[in-house]
Every structure is written in structure tokens, then in C-alpha cells.
A = this chain, B = another copy of it.
Amino acid sequence: MARLESLRPVQRPRLYEQVAGQITEWITANGVRSGDRLPPERELATQLGVSRATISQALVALEVVGAVVVRHGDGAIVTDLAGTPRIVDAIRAHAKRLPEIIDARDALESKIAALAAERRTEAHLAEIDAALDAMEADIDAGGRGVEGDELFHAAVTAAAASELLSKMMREIGELVLETRIESLGQPGRPRESLAAHRRIADAIRAADPAAAAAAMHAHVMRVSDVAILHDGA
């Protein structure tokens, strides 16, 4: 039974998203500055050819993101964050920015590995070992060890005990996953990757932050080779 794990659900465009995008464009295009007011909802509705309810939804979205603040009876005021596109969207939009993902991953995971080496408990080490075992078992069975790979990085992140770094990793996690799957798809890679993970685990166990960071750095860079090659193909 062939897997189709690379397939993703079709894009279901929401009207409010499109409207929010158009409003954002309008903001940047017209040089609207922080503090300026958007046109009234009713006017936006007629101009963009949608209902006021949809405009309202778009404004909710923009408000949640922090691009505008809507004031009852006054209007929607543009904030200073308005021109800033959302992090993941910005990347996906250009798509050719895999190197940026690598850089970010390197920055975060190297630090995470170092912190993990300082703060790991026995429970964390056990969790990391379990992930490595799962990875090895899967590879022995002919798999690519993707699941164990994910578990490993999750365990290391947990050991680092930083909610902030953890959250940031989660933010780019979706993008990282793609590069990870690509990398492990290459023949011989899984075993090599397993060895790299072992080196990271050893450094963490040895409570050696610098070595852990270096090992993680090397691992991330090794993965990036493939990803970039694949990207350029």
C-alpha cells in the first residue's frame, strides 16, 4: 500500500482572508501610516463587492494579528505592525527560502541542544533514548525513522525547558518537517542521520553544552545540503 503522505488538503480560500489581504495591500500601497483610519466598513463592503459581515470578519482577523485596532463608533485604525506579513506566510509566499528555514532552525536548535545539555534530567535522557530506539527499530524495518526523528527533537526541546524557544520551534516546525522528510528519503541517509542524533544525545548526556550545540549544528547543516540541492533541482 503506497503512502501518499506528501499530499496535502487543497487550498480552501476564505473570502475574509482575501479581503484582509486586499486591505493590507491597500495599506502599504497608499502609504497609510500608523494611526490613520481605514474607510468605513460599509464603504469597503461596496468597493470590494462583499458583504459587511465579511469585511467584519476580515477586520477581526487583522485585529487578532495586530494590524489594526477597531474602535466602536470611530473606525478601524491602522497600527504600526500593519505592513508586517505573517511569519509563515512570508516564507511560503516566496517558497524559495528554504535556506532561511535552515538558518532559523540552526539558531534555535543549537541553542536548544546547549540548554538541554545543561538542564536535562534522567527522565529527559530516557525519553531521548526511547526516541533513538524507535528510530533505529524503524530503520531496521526498512523505514526512514521519521517518527523517531520527530520524537528525538521534541524530547531535546523539552529538555531545554524554555517555553519561548519551544514555541518558536513549533512555529517553524511545519516548514522544518518538509526538509526533514526530504533528507531522510535519500538512501543511506537514515543510518547516517541516526548516528548524528546519537552524537547529539551523547553530548547532552555528558552535560557538554558546547559539544551538544556543535553536534546539532553539524546535523542541521548536513540536512540543509540535501534540502538546498533538492530545492535547486
A residues near B (Cβ < 8 Å) are 12, 16, 53, 56-57, 60-61, 64-65, 71-72, 81, 84, 87, 90-91, 97, 100-101, 103-104, 106-108, 110-112, 115, 162-165, 167-168, 170-172
Contacts and interface: CB of A to CB of B under 8 A. Distances in A.
Q: Number of copies of this chain in the oligomer?
A: 2
Q: Is the interface of A mostly helix, strand, loop or mixed?
A: helix
Contacts of A115: 103
Contacts of A84: 167, 170
Contact of A90 (B72, B112, B163): B163
Contacts of A90: 163-164, 167
A165 B104 contact: yes
Given A12-B72, A81-B170, A107-B110, A164 B101 contact: yes
Contacts of A108: 107-108
Of all A-B residue pairs in the complex, the 4 with the closest CB atoms, nearest first, are A107-B111, A100-B164, A64-B64, A104-B164
B107 A165 contact: yes
A63 B84 CA distance: 19
A45 B72 CA distance: 23
